[in-house]
Amino acid sequence: MNVVAVPEFQHRTVLLDEAVDALDLTGVRADGTYIDGTFGRGGHSRLILSHLGPNGRLFAFDKDLQAIATAGQITDARFEIVHDSFATMAQALAARGVDRVDGILLDLGISSPQVDDAARGFSFRNDGPLDMRMDTTRGVSAADWLASETEQQLERVIRNYGEERFAFQIAKAIVARRAVEPISSTRQLAGIVANAVKTREKGKDPATRTFQAIRIFINKELEDLETGLSAAYAMLAPGARMAVISFHSLEDRMVKQFLASKVKVEQPDRRLPIRAVDLPQPLMKLISKMKPSELEVEGNPRSRSAVMRVAERLPESRPNRSGP
């Protein structure tokens, strides 16, 4: 792999102490095995390592080459970075002889350095190439996708992934503009959206939802989250915790519904002759739901929308069939 220079962009890890505390790295758990599903610039990983015992292990995942380069600066033998999505955690750790872990942290979305680097194309605030890929070595760029996708699919993506009520007008405007010239820069796309959106949300740029939608679609973020949540649950040892930090309603809704499916179990008709010990039991229990403090939001306004949900895998109950 080529060495990637890491630009000097500031990043503040959201819910840093709270997320690591939620994993409960105390006692014998300090020598357990953990996953940081989104390394980013390593804030959570470094704090986890500071709590790990000598026999502890931490596997981190990221698709971003700059994140991989930053992770390469960590020389701790207990740490390993995997250049891939956290959705592949089961296969990646199986290849390393690991099938159970003692805690998993998923910090979703994009990092401040990715947003602030105009060359990545994630933000409309500074002009740059319309790329938006987390991993620039794989997949189709946003510019190439906008150049070839049908108007109907553009509308569907912008509406479903951006929750944008003017998706039809935006998709129509994109198709009209690309017939005249290629849409290759963030400023071009932001201008097209601004002209198509009839009313603006207070304090929000009209391009916000469209950029979010395209980024989520291009990087298969919701597909990765769906796969990753199931893989994470399957890998958690009894008593192990999963903490997930999300930054928009689509992600948080998926996390909330997934955890609810493990916490709540359908009970049979009470009139049936079933012993209490044989009744279906919940698979997880909710530990907490948390948002950044006012102090954190004041120091880092981008943390405002963050929500962290924490759940713990319960021991599997085995019916006692020795009785009558």
65 and 192, same domain (yes or no): no
Same domain, 98 and 242: yes
The binding site for S-adenosyl-L-methionine consists of 42-44, 62, 86, 107, 114
Q: What is the CATH number of the domain that holds 178?
A: 1.10.150.170
Residue 275 has a pLDDT of 59
- Tell me the pLDDT band of 169, cut-offs 50, 70 and 90: very high
**pLDDT at site 78:** 98
Q: How many CA within 13 A on the CB side of residue 324? A: 0
Pair 100, 144 in one domain: no
Q: 229 and 212: one domain? A: no
- The pLDDT tens digits of the residues spanning 87-99 come to 999 999 999 999 9
**Tokens representing 322?**
């020795």
pTM for the model stands at 0.88
Shared domain for 159 and 199, answered yes or no, is yes
Last residue of a domain, one of 168, 196, 218: 218
* Residue 123, in any domain of the structure: no
Same domain for 284 and 150?
Answer: no
pLDDT at 6: 40
pLDDT given for residue 23 in this prediction:
97
CATH code, 30: 3.40.50.150
Positive/negative CA dihedral, 233, 238, 240, 241: positive
Report which of residues 321 and 135 the model is more confident about: 135
Annotated binding site: 42-44, 62, 86, 107, 114
Q: Are residues 140 and 172 in the same domain?
A: yes
Mean pLDDT of the residues in the chain: 90
pLDDT score at 112: 77
Q: Is 122 within a domain?
A: no
Predicted confidence at residue 106, as pLDDT, reads 98
28 has a pLDDT exceeding 70:
yes
| End-of-domain residue from the set 218, 252, 267 | 218
Q: Sorting pLDDT into bands at 50, 70 and 90, what band is 12?
A: confident
Q: Give the domain-ending residue among 159, 194, 218.
A: 218
Q: Is residue 7 part of a domain?
A: no
Number of domains in the chain: 2
pLDDT value for 9: 46
Question: DSSP character for 124?
Answer: S
Q: Indicate if 153 and 142 belong to the same structural domain.
A: yes
Q: Are residues 195 and 226 in the same domain?
A: no
- Residue 282's pLDDT is 86
Q: Which residue range forms the structural domain that includes residue 267?
A: 16-112+221-313
Residue 163 lies in a domain: yes
β 101-107/57-62 pair status:
unpaired
Residues 6+ apart with CB under 8 A from 170: 154, 155, 158, 164, 192, 193, 196, 197, 210
Residue type at 245?
A: I
Q: Which residue would you say has higher pLDDT here, 322 or 68?
A: 68
Assign 213 a pLDDT band (cuts: 50, 70, 90): very high
Q: Per the domain annotation, does 285 fall within a domain? A: yes
Q: Are residues 161 and 292 in the same domain?
A: no
Residue 139 lies in a domain: yes
Task: Let me know if residue 171 belongs to a domain.
Answer: yes
Q: State whether 183 and 210 are in the same domain.
A: yes
Mean pLDDT of 24-35: 96
What is the rounded CA–CA span in Å between residue 127 and residue 109?
21
Average pLDDT over residues 5-33: 83
What are the beta bridge partners of residue 290? 308
Confidence of residue 195 (pLDDT cuts 50, 70, 90): very high
Is 128 part of a structural domain of the chain? no
- 300 and 236 inside one domain: yes
Please give the pLDDT value at position 270.
Answer: 63
Per the DSSP assignment, residues forming a β-bridge with 106 are 244
User: d(Cα 240, Cα 315) in Å, to the nearest integer?
Assistant: 10
Q: What is the mean pLDDT of residues 45-74?
A: 97
- Tell me which amino acid residue 66 is: Q
